[in-house]
Amino acid sequence: MGAMTNARVLGKSGIEVSSVGMGCMGITHASGDPMPDNDAVQVIRAAHEMGYTFFDTAECYVGRRADGTEAHNEDVVGEALAPVRDEVVIATKFGVTHAPDKTILVDSRPETIRASVEGSLRRLRTDHIDLYYQHRIDPKVEPEVVAGVMADLIKEGKVRAWGISETTEDYLRRADAVCPVSAIQNRYSLMAHWNESLFPVLEELNVAFVAFSPMANGFLTGAYSHATHFEGAQDYREGMPQYTEEGEKRAEPLMRFLHELAGLHSATLAQVSLAWMLRKKPYVVPIPGSRKPERLRENLGAAEVMLTDDEIAKIDELLDGLDLMVFGGHAVR
């Protein structure tokens, strides 16, 4: 298991994970119609066999099958990993549901969290969640209240460690003071690197940075362009700003340089884009998602691509001069 030789640690929890984790969202949600259940289970098992030990899901990653029934991501993750439960770290999230128009609805009231944790444990076929994230900040609930519920769940043995997704520094500090936070999960990629401003507080509080959409929703792999037609209403990539002609044009200098580095390192674009963040900080853990075993293997291999300090500096210098368009935020500088 090559990946475990490159294991990373989830902050204060001390929990070890493969340096690249598997983002499972796209299997049922946001990347087209859900995969057939059997295929979904097989691809997650294949990921474990090739060395992934860190799996990311959420209560709200629910897609609709052609027959109208719901495909719960936690359900397939739970079924796939049940036989190897002790060998893997499962992260899931509470506090978000999706409205029919894809808008995010947030709710982190203690009673909602309590109901969520029971549903997640059941679907995941487990008696504990290794890492439980608040999926989005709920402006109506103070961080101290959420952290208090997490402290209780940890005491009860239902949760081993907790984290916050799309956190701010202030929220993290307040939550951490009540119940130590082990990881954040924020958007982070070459095209979305504004959250690097959190590095100092993560180091101060010993919190891992789990990077979601680490390849800018697939854009950085070079496999898609503005001309790509994403199949089906359940594919959220359609219409993302990086997948427009303008977005692609602005990213051209970056993609050219990534091609150059890929050639130098006998690597792929996906690997170079993940290697960049792996080299940046030892506590960054990207969780790229794919439905395809060969791509999962490729992404895991990013941990072996040793970009030099000089190459990292050159990438960052190039990024400083670009005005990129990417889903999830603002143009970067």
The answer to the question of residue 214 lying near ligand NAP (CB under 6 A) is yes
Q: With contact defined as beta carbons under 8 Å apart, do 21 and 289 qualify?
A: no
- 61 is known as an active-site residue: yes
Query: φ and ψ at 33, to 5 degrees?
Result: -65, 150
Of 125, 65, 64, 130, give the one whose Cα is nearest residue 93: 130
Q: Which residues in the 298-327 window bind ligand NAP by CB under 6 A?
A: 298-299
The answer to the question of residue 242 lying near ligand NAP (CB under 6 A) is no
CB-nearer residue toward ligand NAP: 253 or 293? 293
Measured in whole angstroms, the distance separating CA 219 from the mean position of its chain's CA atoms is 15
Residues 6+ apart with CB under 8 A from 252: none
Q: Pick the binder of ligand NAP from 11, 26, 95, 180 (CB under 6 A).
A: 26
Report d(CA 114, CA 75) in Å as an integer: 19
Of 96, 91, 97, 165, give the one whose Cα is nearest residue 126: 91
For 104, the 3-state DSSP assignment is strand
The answer to the question of residue 297 lying near ligand NAP (CB under 6 A) is no
Q: Pick the binder of ligand NAP from 92, 116, 167, 185 (CB under 6 A).
A: 185
Query: φ and ψ at 188, to 5 degrees?
Result: -160, 120
CB-nearer residue toward ligand NAP: 31 or 120? 31
Q: Which listed range, 3-11, 175-183, 283-291, 310-318, lies at the site for ligand NAP (CB under 6 A)?
A: 283-291
CB-nearer residue toward ligand NAP: 2 or 155? 2
Measured in whole angstroms, the distance separating CA 210 from the mean position of its chain's CA atoms is 6
The answer to the question of residue 165 lying near ligand NAP (CB under 6 A) is yes
Two structure tokens written together for 177: 């003071």
Q: Pick the binder of ligand NAP from 11, 95, 247, 288 (CB under 6 A).
A: 288
Q: Which listed range, 77-85, 108-116, 145-153, 208-216, lies at the site for ligand NAP (CB under 6 A)?
A: 208-216
In whole angstroms, how far apart are CA 289 and each of 56, 87, 200, 216?
Answer: 9, 20, 27, 11
Nearest approach, Cβ of residue 100 and ligand NAP (Å): 19
Nearest approach, Cβ of residue 322 and ligand NAP (Å): 18
Binding mask 79-108 toward ligand NAP (x if CB under 6 A, else -) reads ------------------------------
CB-nearer residue toward ligand NAP: 202 or 216? 216
Concatenate the DSSP letters of all residues of 248-292 into one string.
HHHHHHHHHHHHHHHHHTT--HHHHHHHHHHHH-TTEEE----S-
> What residues make contact with ligand NAP under the rule CB under 6 A?
23-26, 31, 56, 135, 165-166, 185, 212-218, 221, 223, 270, 287-292, 295, 298-299
Catalytic residues: 61
